[in-house]
């Protein structure tokens, strides 16, 4: 019996593979694979989610109120539910401190109890709104370009001036630029078709160039609005993102089933719950005097976390609590 279930009929498998890769890297960063690894993945692993959101955006006749309700269900409801669950767990182990409640529902880019990755759901929600409003209300492509540049510039410059906005708005502004890039690449069929026809050597070379550029930049962190050199940030992240998209499509042809497909298709579970799981396992290890030192134990820890998350995801999918994952 195949324990890994994936619905090929209603999914774009190479997109789920791409998303699964990004989420795996995120969880590895939370487990802790060293500073060098964290610096590398932070250069692109959050931008790639904004990019793929734009890549999947379909412009059609749509009522804004119905659209926003769907987004609230898929992003904001899981944000609130998992945020409250994280608070309950935190208060149970650490005692009640109301500042974490304020952080969750206001300044959510620093100090969220346990599930720090929740900021992304709010940032993606805001990016979606900005992108929707621009695409449906501005008809001139050049003006759209100017607006996206202006919005992303605000997201970069305001934190540099010491001005922080609630609900990860600054991060969302920068994310909107990646969303726009993803959308326009997907919208241009000629560019997209020719891109996937490129020789793999060119793509691999681009991937290497992007990876090298990461080393010349400061440590990037979209959550805290740290981008270092803006040119290096955008160039390195886009080169790596496009390479991962290309190879996801190439590899997908040869995969019948892969755990990354499940991670990518049920991404909310893995995004929202991974840090709670890591925290719980870490607590138990400390309680029983177990130490996880070295690369081997890091990978073992990762496998245990992923297995637990898979079990929880299966339980949620078979229950009446799918609202936890926005379904």
pLDDT, tens digit (0-9, with 9 covering 90-100), for 259-276: 888 899 888 999 999 999
Average pLDDT score over residue span 281-286: 86
- Which DSSP string corresponds to 14-32? HHHHHHHHHHHHHHHHHH-
CB atoms within 10 A of CB 125: 19
> pLDDT tens-digit profile of 129-143?
999 999 999 999 999
Which residue in this structure is represented by tokens 């659209």? 67
Angle between helices 119-137 and 64-71 (to 10 degrees): 170
> What is the residue extent of each domain of the chain?
13-325
Nearest alpha carbon to residue 175 among 278, 82, 46: 46
Render pLDDT for 214-227 as a digit per residue (tens, 0 to 9): 999 999 999 999 99
Asked if residue 61 has pLDDT above 90, the reply is no
Mean pLDDT, to the nearest integer, of 239-257? 88
Phi and psi dihedrals of 226, rounded to 5? -105, 115
Note the pLDDT of residue 1: 40
Residues paired with 221 in a beta bridge: 226
DSSP code of 117?
A: G
CA distance 231 to 14: 29
């Amino acid at each position: 019996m195949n324990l890994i279930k994936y619905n090929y009929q209603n999914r774009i498998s190479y997109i789920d593979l791409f998303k699964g890769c990004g989420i795996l890297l995120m969880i590895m960063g939370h487990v802790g694979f060293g500073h060098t690894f964290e610096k590398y993945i932070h250069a692109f692993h959050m931008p790639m989610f904004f990019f793929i959101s734009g890549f999947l955006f379909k412009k059609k006749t749509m009522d804004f109120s119905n659209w926003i309700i769907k987004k609230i269900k898929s992003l904001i409801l899981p944000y609130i539910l998992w945020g409250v669950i994280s608070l309950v767990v935190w208060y149970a182990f650490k005692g009640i401190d109301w500042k974490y409640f304020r952080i969750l529902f206001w300044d959510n880019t620093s100090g969220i109890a346990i599930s720090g990755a929740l900021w992304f759901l709010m940032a993606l929600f805001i990016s979606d709104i900005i992108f929707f409003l621009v695409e449906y209300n501005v008809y001139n492509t050049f003006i759209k370009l100017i607006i996206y540049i202006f919005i992303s510039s605000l997201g970069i410059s305001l934190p540099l001036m010491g001005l922080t906005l609630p609900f990860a708005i600054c991060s969302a502004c920068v994310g909107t630029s990646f969303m726009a890039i993803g959308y326009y690449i997907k919208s241009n069929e000629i560019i997209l078709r020719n891109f996937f026809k490129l020789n793999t050597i060119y793509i691999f070379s681009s991937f290497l160039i992007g990876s090298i550029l990461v080393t010349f930049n400061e440590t990037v962190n979209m959550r805290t609005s740290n981008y270092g050199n803006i040119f290096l940030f955008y160039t390195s992240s886009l080169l790596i993102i496009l390479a991962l998209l290309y190879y996801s499509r190439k590899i997908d042809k040869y995969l019948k089933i892969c755990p990354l497909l499940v991670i990518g298709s049920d991404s909310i579970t893995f995004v929202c719950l991974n840090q709670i799981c890591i925290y719980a396992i870490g607590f138990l290890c400390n309680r029983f005097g177990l130490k996880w030192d070295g690369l081997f134990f890091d990978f073992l820890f990762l496998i245990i976390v992923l297995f637990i998350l898979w079990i929880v995801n299966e339980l949620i999918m078979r229950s009446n609590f799918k609202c936890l994952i926005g379904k």
